[in-house]
Structure 1
Amino acid sequence: MFDRKEDIMKWTEKWDGERFENGRPKVSDDILERMRRITLEEAWMPLWNNGYRFQFEGGFKSVQPDQIMIGRAVTAVMVPSRPDLHETLVAVGAEEGRKGFYNQWVIDVLGENDVVVADMFDKVHLGTYVGGNLSTAIATRTKRGGAVVWGGIRDNEQVSKIKEINVYYRGSDPTAIADVVMTGMNVPCRIGNAICLPGDIVFGTPYGVIFIPPHLAEQTVVEAEKSQIRDVFGFVRLRSGTYTTAQIDSPWTTELWSDFEDWFRSSEDAKEFQHLSWEQEIEEARNRPAGSGLPQVRE
C-alpha cells in the first residue's frame, strides 16, 4: 500500500483542512511555527485529555540533542525480508515509477517541513535507514524537517553536521540497509509505544517524540500558548505576593481573571500572545457555583 489517496483520506477523515495531492493532511505552516515555542508536556496534555494515549515515545538517540524538530509525517513500515514478497513489491514500485531501494522511495516524495517516520522494527544491524547521502537529501527536500527511525542509522559524524534537520534513531551501525521489505508508505505506523498516521505533526524534543493528529494540532498549540502565558502571569503575581500558590493553581475566580485580562492587554510579556481569546474561560468562571472558586485576593 504505497501512498494511496483513498486510504489516507479515510484514516484522517477527522481533518477538514487543506490536503496534499495524495490526501495527506496539510496543517498550516503558521501552526507548525507556533508549535516550535511550546514544550513536550504542553503538547502531550491535550492529546491525553482527548483519549490519545499512545502518541509519545522517548526511547531515542538524536543527532542534534538540543534541537527541536517540527514537521508533517510521511510514514513507512518495514518488515523482515521474504523473497516472494520482495519481488512482488519491487515490481509494484517499478510500475509506479519508483527508483532505488525502499527508503529512497520515501525520501523521493518529501516536501518542505516533512519528516520521515519509519518503523524498522527496531533493526539496527543491516537496518540503517539513512546515512550521510540520504540525510542530505532529506535536508534538501524538507528544509527543517528530518527523520524518526525505529531502527538504525549510519554515518553519524556526517549526519550530525547537517544542522538544518534532526534525526531520531535507536542505534548506529556501519552496515547499509538490507534484508527488509517495505509493506506500506503513508500508512499507520508504529514507533515503539506510539502510533503515527500520515500527516501527523511530528514534535521532536530532547526528551522524546510526540505524534500530534492534525485535527488536534491547532487545539494543542492554543492550549499550550494559554498555559504558557498564564504561567508568566502567575509567576509575576507570586513574586509580588498578590496571590498564594493555591489561588494560582486552582480554578480562577472572576476577580483573578479580571486582573489577568488587565495585565494581558498591557504587558510586554504578553505581546506575542494577543491572538488568544479568553471568553470561554471567563464564562466558565462566571458560571462556577458560589464557594467553589478561590479565596479572596490578599491585600
Structure 2
Amino acid sequence: MQFNNYEDIVQMTPLWKGDRFPDGRPRVADSVLARLRSMSIEEVWRLAWMKLNNYQFQGDFKCTHSTMKPTVGRAVTATFVPIREDLEIAMMRQAKSQGMKGMYNQWVVDSLVEDDVFVADLFDKTEYGTLVGGNLATVIRQKTKRGGAVVWGSIRDVQQIRDIDDINIFYRGFHPSPIRDICLTGFNSPCRIGHATCLPGDVVYACECGVCFIPPHMAEEVAEDAEKVHIRDIFGFQRIHEGKYSATAIDEFPWKIEIFEDFMNWLKTDERAAPYRHLTWEKERQLIIDRRDLEHERYNLDSCRKDLCDV
C-alpha cells in the first residue's frame, strides 16, 4: 500500500471528469467554492440527499471560531486507528520509502494547498487524540489561506488557535495531552467521519450546525440548486410577510403556476435577485406542469418509511 497515491485517488473518484491536483484529487473550481460559501447547510445538503447520497452529513462538532460564514474547501483525508506495533512498523517503513518525515499529522498538513480542508478520522479519541494544536493550526492557516480542519477526535491549544484569523477547526473534544498511540492507515483514502463518508477532493462545507461532504462531480449542480432554494426563500419570506400568500402555499413546491409567474417577475426587478439572474428555471416550470415534487418522491423512497395510506 502507499500513502497519497495518485492512481488510487483517480480510481476512487471515477465520476469526476475535470481538472485534478498533482496528487490526483479532483479540483472543483474556485468559483463553485465561492458560491457555496454564501449558502446554508440545508441548502447545500438537499440535492445530494435527493440523489440518495444519505451519508454526507455529520453534526455534533465544536468549532474554534465564530461560524458567521461556513468553512468551504477541498478535502485532504487521513484515517487513523489505535496503535499496534506490527502495523506501526509497516506504516513507518512505507512512509520512509515515500520520503515522509516527522509525525503522521505533519505529513498530511505539509501537503495542504490553498482552500484545502484537513479531514481526519481519529476514531473519536479524546485523551492523546489531539490531532491539531497551535503549531499545526498556524501551518494550516498559512497553507490553506481560509481553510481549516474537521477532526473526528480532539485538539489542544484552543486559546492559541482562536488567535489565528481566517481558519476554523471543527472537532469533537478537547484535551491538553499531546497526541499518542495512533497509527495512520490512510492518507487521501476513504475516510469515515461519524455517519458520513469523505473522499479526497470532496467539497467540505462546515458550519456550527455540522459538516457536509459534497462529491466533487456534484458540486456545481449542488451550488446551483442551493442558490435556487436560497432565492426562492427570499421571495417566499417577503410574500408571506406581505400577506400575499400563506406559509402553506409557499412551502409547497412546485408552486402553483401563478406563484411561480409572480416569482419570475420578481426576479427581474428585485435588487436582491440580481446575483441569481444567471439561473434558469425551465426544469422547475416543467415540474409545475407535471405536478411532481422531487423531495416528496425521495421521501417516499426511504426504506424505513411506511406508507401513510397503510397506517
Q: TM-score range by the shorter chain?
A: over 0.9
Letter in 1 for 2:159: E
How far is the alpha carbon of 1:288 from its aligned partner?
A: 4.4
**How many residues get paired?**
289
* SS of residue matched to 2:135: helix
Tell me whether 1:142 sits opposite 2:144 in the alignment.
yes
- Note the aligned Cα RMSD (angstroms): 1.5
Task: List runs of 5+ in structure 1 lacking aligned partners.
Answer: 290-299
What are the Cα deviations for residues 183-241 of structure 1, in whole angstroms up to 9, with x where unaligned? 11000001111111101111111111111111121121111111111111122222333
Match of 2:9 in 1: 8
Is contact 2:116–2:144 with CA below 8 Å preserved after alignment?
yes
Q: For the structure 1 residues 256 and 99, does the alpha-carbon distance in structure 2 shift closer, same or farther, using more than 3 Å as the test?
A: same
Out of 248, 255, 258, the residue aligned to residue 255 of structure 1 is 258
Match of 1:166 in 2: 168
Match of 1:215 in 2: 217
* SS of residue matched to 1:170: strand
Match of 1:89 in 2: 91
What are the Cα deviations for residues 31-81 of structure 1, in whole angstroms up to 9, with x where unaligned? 111111111111111121111111111121110142421110000011111
Match of 2:73 in 1: 71
The 5 A counterparts of 1:148-297 are 148-250=150-252, 251-288=254-291
Q: Percent identity?
A: 48
Match of 1:104 in 2: 106
Letter in 2 for 1:20: F
Match of 2:302 in 1: none
Match of 2:309 in 1: none
Letter in 2 for 1:276: L
Tell me whether 1:123 sits opposite 2:125 in the alignment.
yes
CA distance in structure 2 between the partners assigned to 1:288 and 1:214 by the alignment? 31
157-166 or 274-283: bigger deviation: 274-283
Q: TM-score normalised to the size of structure 2? A: 0.89
How far is the alpha carbon of 1:246 from its aligned partner?
A: 3.2
| Structure 1 runs (4+) greater than 4 angstroms displaced | none
CA distance in structure 2 between the partners assigned to 1:66 and 1:4 by the alignment? 33
* SS of residue matched to 2:151: strand
Match of 1:62 in 2: 63
CA distance in structure 2 between the partners assigned to 1:194 and 1:228 by the alignment? 25
Tell me whether 1:35 sits opposite 2:36 in the alignment.
yes
How far is the alpha carbon of 1:287 from its aligned partner?
A: 4.5
How far is the alpha carbon of 1:286 from its aligned partner?
A: 3.5
* SS of residue matched to 2:113: coil
What are the Cα deviations for residues 226-279 of structure 1, in whole angstroms up to 9, with x where unaligned? 111111112222233333333322322333322211110111010111121112
Is contact 2:61–2:208 with CA below 8 Å preserved after alignment?
no
Letter in 2 for 1:200: D
Task: List runs of 5+ in structure 2 lacking aligned partners.
Answer: 293-311
